[in-house]
Amino acid sequence: MPSSKVLPSFRSSRSLHRLRSLHLSPAEANAKLKHVTSQACARDIAPHASPRSKKLLSRNIGLKHIHITPFRGVLSMMLAVLVSFVFISSISLAFVGADIDEQFFKEMLDKLAETSPGIILFGENVDIDIDEPSITIRWSIHACGKNQILPGSSGAHGSEICGLPAIPLSIYIDNDEKPVATYDPGEIPFDRGTSHRRSIQKLVQFDSDHVLDVHNARLYPFDTYMLSSTLHAVTLDNKTLPIQKLATIVDTPSFTIETFDIESYSTLPDHTQKSSRDLDMYIRRPNDARIFTLFLFVINWVLTHITIGHVYLARKLQDVQSLIKHLLSAGVILVALPQIRNSMPDAPGLDGVLIDAIGFFPQMVVSGISVVVLLLILAAREYDIIIAQSSAQKLSRSVVVEKEEDEEGRYSEAKLSPPRPPRCPTTHSTSTEIAQYELHRIVKHLKGEYVFPPIRTSIPLPGRPPSSMVPTHRRILPMTNTQEERMSRWSEDSV
């Protein structure tokens, strides 16, 4: 007979050691029970199991005896506050290094002082207005190089070899006939305490306005703009002074600016060359503004789809209170959509930009239609309730009328048609039927109605005198002698 392989059992053995001895304390009994249970579980492990399986099983057995204490409310609240504090602190680190542009400008100025000293125009502020459309640049006049700067004015943007120009000059933009700015170093005041030149904005800065090309404005937030301009400097004796560098800031609150400057010249009517510096400025939205705008765009569409879901769910509801909840939610979404759209970074007006053509306008249309449909569904449910209530009232009234008519009909029927009298007893009638018939006959007699008188049998009973004949009721059909005899006996017995 072939031997069958018996699978090992991993069930813990039922040992009598689980029963606590009377001479042991509860703590000693529990310790002994844990020791015996672990030994039993280790003994139940299959002999042919791998060492890895034995190790894992032993580890699981040990974990069963670990008591995990759940977090209490105070501890959970403290952990939540700690996580919130860490999150806020990590975000606040974004302000650290926000002045990195100053270090970049310092390095740029130091490099220019060594390679190409001369006049430098630096755009410290750029105001971009897409609705105008225009761009305003505030330029600062600087010079780099030991022989180029005004004594006592060094330290521009942290560079010790850059400061204010030492010679007067005039700045022209886009070949205008009139200079946009005039600089005179003699007007720069001194600080009486330090004998250092003060940088007065009105004396060393000027603004230039440019028309901005906005043919890509409808692609918000992926709109880009370009500006090209030319600048040249002239001394008091009408000599052209070369400009060594044109630079602007890189980041503004709503845009990122990339600037390229090119050395150029133009030929005058007297065949002389006039040196100038051209500026090419490329403007686009920063990546974080684009990401936030797209997130808000997606959120608006999700809310719009939620209004469609409210309509789908409301069609299957009959409860008016539930319909009102769906209607309120859709109404709140309809009001929130314009607010979310206006919260987009530097969002343009509702002029039909692409993000509004595929987003805000259809979102408002779909959400508005959903709210109107919900109102119609609510009105339909209210109308159904009114119709149902009126139908129920009519039905209740008709039921009451029918009941009254039925009761009146039964009463009149009972009054007009008296109950059918019981049948005349026969030879097969029971004593109950005969008693009912006699009772009916007596009632008629008492009411004064005519009752057939009883008749006597024509044949006297044997063994009795003729005077002992018992009267019987008249029958419809003639009775035989035998029937009359039986009726006479029944009458005698009843008497």
- At 476 the pLDDT is 46
Q: Pick from 64, 199, 82: which is nearest to 143 by CA?
A: 199
- At 294 the pLDDT is 94
CA angle 211, 245, 188 (to 5 degrees): 90
Residue type at position 442:
I
**Is the model's pLDDT at 54 over the cut of 90?**
no
Residue extents of the structural domains in the chain: 101-285, 293-393, 431-488
Computed over every residue of the chain, the mean pLDDT equals 78
- At 492 the pLDDT is 52
**Is the model's pLDDT at 126 over the cut of 50?**
yes
**Is the model's pLDDT at 453 over the cut of 70?**
no
* Listed range (206-210, 374-378, 381-385, 392-396) with the worst mean pLDDT: 392-396
**Is the model's pLDDT at 11 over the cut of 50?**
no
- At 175 the pLDDT is 84
**Is the model's pLDDT at 457 over the cut of 50?**
no
> For residues 136 and 212, what is the distance between their CA atoms, to the nearest angstrom?
10
Query: Both tokens of residue 234?
Result: 């002239």
Strand 205-211 and strand 181-183: the pairing is unpaired
- At 7 the pLDDT is 46
**Contact call for residues 488 and 454 (beta carbons, < 8 A):** no
Against a cut of 0.75, is the pTM above it?
no
> For residues 332 and 330, what is the distance between their CA atoms, to the nearest angstrom?
5
Which ranges constitute the DSSP H helices of 3-50?
Answer: 26-44
Q: How confident is the model at residue 38 (pLDDT cuts 50, 70, 90)?
A: low
> For residues 54 and 57, what is the distance between their CA atoms, to the nearest angstrom?
5
Q: Mean of the pLDDT values across residues 55-81?
A: 66
- Give the containing element (helix H, strand E) for 285: none
- At 398 the pLDDT is 77
> pLDDT higher for 366 or 112?
366
- At 293 the pLDDT is 94
Task: Convert the pLDDT of each residue in 197-220 to its tens digit.
Answer: 888 888 899 999 998 888 888 999
* Listed range (77-81, 369-373, 469-473) with the worst mean pLDDT: 469-473
Cβ within 8 Å of residue 175, ≥6 positions away: 230, 266
**Is the model's pLDDT at 307 over the cut of 60?**
yes
- At 450 the pLDDT is 63
- At 461 the pLDDT is 47
**Is the model's pLDDT at 349 over the cut of 70?**
yes
- At 491 the pLDDT is 53
- At 35 the pLDDT is 58
> For residues 433 and 423, what is the distance between their CA atoms, to the nearest angstrom?
8
> For residues 235 and 418, what is the distance between their CA atoms, to the nearest angstrom?
139
- At 13 the pLDDT is 47
3-state secondary structure of 223: coil
* Listed range (71-75, 265-269, 313-317, 338-342) with the worst mean pLDDT: 71-75
> For residues 463 and 470, what is the distance between their CA atoms, to the nearest angstrom?
14
How does DSSP assign 173-193, residue by residue?
A: ETT-SS-SEEE-GGGPPBPTT
What are the percentages of helix, strand and coil residues in the chain, rounded to 5?
45, 20, 35
Q: How confident is the model at residue 151 (pLDDT cuts 50, 70, 90)?
A: confident
> For residues 364 and 367, what is the distance between their CA atoms, to the nearest angstrom?
5
Q: Mean of the pLDDT values across residues 218-224?
A: 91
Percentage with pLDDT > 70 across the chain: 72
**Contact call for residues 222 and 282 (beta carbons, < 8 A):** no
- At 420 the pLDDT is 73
> pLDDT higher for 8 or 77?
77
Q: How confident is the model at residue 442 (pLDDT cuts 50, 70, 90)?
A: confident
Mean pLDDT: which of 40-54, 109-123, 368-382 is highest? 368-382
**Is the model's pLDDT at 128 over the cut of 80?**
yes
Count CA within 13 A, CB hemisphere, residue 53: 8
**Contact call for residues 208 and 139 (beta carbons, < 8 A):** yes
Q: How confident is the model at residue 121 (pLDDT cuts 50, 70, 90)?
A: very high
Q: Which residues pair with 120 in a beta bridge?
A: 142, 245
CATH class of 101-285: mainly beta
**Contact call for residues 135 and 282 (beta carbons, < 8 A):** no
* Listed range (56-65, 75-84, 410-419) with the worst mean pLDDT: 56-65
Q: Which residues pair with 182 in a beta bridge?
A: 170
**Contact call for residues 472 and 488 (beta carbons, < 8 A):** yes
> For residues 68 and 10, what is the distance between their CA atoms, to the nearest angstrom?
25
